[in-house]
Amino acid sequence: MLCGLLADAYFGLAGFVQIQVGLNFSLEVDMLKADFHLHSSFSGDSDTAPEQIVETGLLKGLSAVCFTDHFDADYPYNNVCFVLDTEAYLERILELRSAYEGRIEIGFGVELGLQPHLGELYRSYVGQYPFDFVIGSTHLMDGKDPYYASFWEDCAPKDGIRRFLEITLENMKAFDDFDVYGHLDYIVRYAPLEPKRFFYGDYGDLMDEILRFLISHGKGIEVNTGGYKAGLGCPNPCPEVLRRYRELGGEIVTMGSDAHAAEYVGGFMDAARDVLRDCGFRYFTVFRGREAVFVALD
C-alpha cells in the first residue's frame, strides 16, 4: 500500500523537480548533482570553513550542497566535542545562502548521533530549527565508539557488526524524526575483518528488519560515498543492501560524500549514481524543508 503511494508521489515529484530546477538554476533534471552529507568546522572533527565546502561544490559542478554537521549528544570521549552550536551554524548557512544565491543551493541539515536513550532530547531539538534535512546515524554502541581500535580488543568482529545493527534498530525505534538513516553498514570500515565488506547473508535477518522499519515509516537511506574513500570499493551501505531496500519497496535514497575536508566534497558521486542504477533505482532524492524531492538518475 505504502509502496504504491510512494510510486505515485515519485512521478508527480519528478515533474515538480523539472519545473523548480528550471526556475532556480536553469539546469536540466539529469544535470542536478547534489552532495547531501557534508561536515564543516561546526563539526567537532572538521576544521574546514563552510565557504570552502561551497566553493569546492561550485568548482566540482554541484548544483546543491547540504551541510549536515554533527550533533552527537552524550558523546563519551573528551578528545572531541560533538555538541553543535546550532544558532551560529544556522546563521552562517543563511549568510552563505544569500551570498551564493542563484549559483548553488545550500541546505541546512544535521547528522544526529543516535542512542536509544536520546529520543526525547532529539525530538525536541529537531523541532526547534528550520532544517532542510536530518540524517540519523549510529556512531556509538553501548556508549563506546567502534571507530577506535580499542573497541575491538574484547569484541569479535561479527559480534560487533551484529550488535551495531541491533542498536541501529533500537535507535530508530526510539527516534524516527529523521529523513534518512546514515551509512547503514559503515561498521565494516572499522571492524578488524578481511576482506572489509558487509556480507548481507550473515546479517540478513536484522538488516531486513531495519529496512522494513524504515520503509514502513516512510524513511530513506543514504548512499555514503565515504566507503570508497575508506578503501571498501563501494559506498555504505553496500550494493546488496541498497538492492534489498529497493526490493522491499524503498525509494528514498540521498547521495552524500561525508566529506570533512573540502577536497572530498562531491567525491564519487558518479560512482554512486551507477550503483543506484544497478540496484534498480531510477531516482535519487534531495530534501528541502524536510520534504523529499525526487530527481531522475538519467
**Among residues 251 and 258, whose Cβ is nearest to Zn ion?**
258
Residue 213 contacts residue 181 (beta carbons within 8 Å): no
**Among residues 20 and 86, whose Cβ is nearest to Zn ion?**
86
Report the distance separating Cα 137 and Cα 206, nearest Å.
16
Query: Closest distance between Zn ion and the C-beta of residue 186, in Å?
Result: 7
Report the distance separating Cα 15 and Cα 189, nearest Å.
38
Query: Closest distance between Zn ion and the C-beta of residue 226, in Å?
Result: 8
Query: Closest distance between Zn ion and the C-beta of residue 278, in Å?
Result: 24
Query: Closest distance between Zn ion and the C-beta of residue 161, in Å?
Result: 16
Query: Closest distance between Zn ion and the C-beta of residue 288, in Å?
Result: 20
**Among residues 6 and 172, whose Cβ is nearest to Zn ion?**
172
**Among residues 182 and 235, whose Cβ is nearest to Zn ion?**
182
Query: Closest distance between Zn ion and the C-beta of residue 265, in Å?
Result: 13
Which grid cell is 124?
Answer: 525536541
**Among residues 63 and 224, whose Cβ is nearest to Zn ion?**
224
**Among residues 6 and 168, whose Cβ is nearest to Zn ion?**
168
Query: Closest distance between Zn ion and the C-beta of residue 47, in Å?
Result: 15
**Among residues 13 and 140, whose Cβ is nearest to Zn ion?**
140
Q: In this structure, which amino acid lies at residue 175?
A: F
Query: Can you give the binding site for Zn ion, defined by CB under 5 A?
Result: 111, 137, 182, 258
CA angle 83/161/249 to nearest 5° reads 90
Query: Closest distance between Zn ion and the C-beta of residue 130, in Å?
Result: 21
Q: Got the DSSP string for 35-89?
A: EEEE--TTSTT----HHHHHHHHHHTT-SEEEEEEEE-TT---SSS-----HHHH
**Among residues 17 and 286, whose Cβ is nearest to Zn ion?**
286
What number of CA atoms fall less than 13 Å from residue 155's CA on the CB side?
Answer: 24
Query: Residue 147, class by beta-carbon neighbours within 10 Å (0-12 exposed, 13-18 middle, 19+ buried)?
Result: middle
Residue 210 contacts residue 168 (beta carbons within 8 Å): yes
Bridge-based pairing of strands 291-296 and 283-288 is: antiparallel
Rounded-to-10 torsion of CA 209, 66, 49, 122: -50
Using Cβ positions, the residue closest to Zn ion within the complex turns out to be 137
Bridge partners, 258 (sequence order): none
